[in-house]
Copies of this chain bind each other. A is one copy, B any other.
Amino acid sequence: MSGNRDGATLEQVAARAGVSRQTVSNALNAPQRLHPDTLDRVRAVIEELGYRPNRNARGLRTRSTGMIGYRMTPRDRGVLTPLMDDFLHALCAAAEARDRHILLFTAPLGEPGLAVYDDLLAQRAVDAFVLAETVVDDPRPGWLAKRGVPFAAFGRTWSPGQAGPWVDVDGAHGMREVVRHLHSLGHRRIGFLGWRQGDGVGDDRLRGWTEECTRLGMSTEDGLVVRGANTIEAGRRGAAVLLDAEEQPTALVAVSDAVALGALALLAERGVPAGSGVAVTGFDDSPLAAATLPGLTSVRQPVERIADQVLSLLDNTSETGSLLRPELVVRASSERR
């Protein structure tokens, strides 16, 4: 009657099935070693008793928990990053599909928080990490790789020879799609509301805008680019700058939904109809993009596929990186002119 709370232990299953503990273990971990009849009998008892192996015992023996560590960063007030919440959910589901679980932890923002990673490893609380919100020159990939800890990152560190496998979204490709879409609607002068220089993600997205505008023979002059923080307010101010310029753009491409929201707010203030008047696009396809009025054309990040690939990379050490294509989602903020 000891063992799992109400649940059976391997020993109890063995006794009831009339086999040794070893055989029950094999039924679970190496079923091909058992005679089909034995296997059936053992499985029936496992089912009957609702037996599930004790994770601690298994982990102690195999030197692995089924746990994957994931650091949650606090949200800054006024900054919208709903994407990461969606990613976390997708990651959680993908882990379960592999019979693993996510162990959540926090670490001070900015600070790499490597001590926390070290501690979790020393306790053997996790056997791998998923990294997200990687930044330029992020120290984590190198640190983990040096120690031989399995990990995979959602996001690049934008440094040559990045350590370890990663999955990322091709932001430049997404922006090229946006520009092509606007061009097809008749826009010939398109402004860009970006983040400050030096942010890998932001610079990558800007590159897409630049490349596609150039390819289509549209201007990419300095006056068409305004940079700022990832806030609604920054988007509003940036949009004002672009629309007050001598030569107005007819479309505003924002580096993120938050920034695009600011542009929409400015247009509303000025009574300019977003979409039919000046087109606005965002990036990330946050829930707000669908909810806002008019709906915001945006670029959806395939979080489920990202999560799935990140977890695949944890086991498969041969691959190094992969770039996923995001998908353009057209809404009323970019209508036919």
Known contacts A104-B101, A105-B101, A291-B231; A123 and B92 CB within 8 A of each other: no
- By a CB distance below 8 angstroms, the chain B residues around A65 are 55-56
**Minimum Cβ distance to chain B for residue A104 (Å):** 4
Chain A, interface size category, equals 35 or more
- By a CB distance below 8 angstroms, the chain B residues around A261 are 291
Interface residues of A in 119-171 (CB under 8 A from B): 119, 121-125, 147-148
- By a CB distance below 8 angstroms, the chain B residues around A51 are 122
Known contacts A103-B103, A106-B93; A55 and B124 CB within 8 A of each other: yes
Contact A293 B72 (CB under 8 A): no
- Which residue of B is nearest A64, CB measured? B56
The interface bits of chain A over 282-314 (1 if a CB of B lies within 8 angstroms of the residue's CB, else 0) are 000001101111000000000000000000000
- By a CB distance below 8 angstroms, the chain B residues around A291 are 78, 80, 231-233, 258, 261
**Minimum Cβ distance to chain B for residue A331 (Å):** 12
- By a CB distance below 8 angstroms, the chain B residues around A96 are 105-106
Known contacts A78-B291, A101-B105, A287-B75; A55 and B92 CB within 8 A of each other: no
Q: List 17 A-B contacts (CB under 8 A).
A: A53-B123, A55-B56, A56-B56, A75-B89, A75-B287, A77-B290, A80-B288, A82-B82, A82-B85, A89-B106, A92-B106, A93-B106, A232-B291, A233-B293, A258-B291, A268-B269, A271-B271
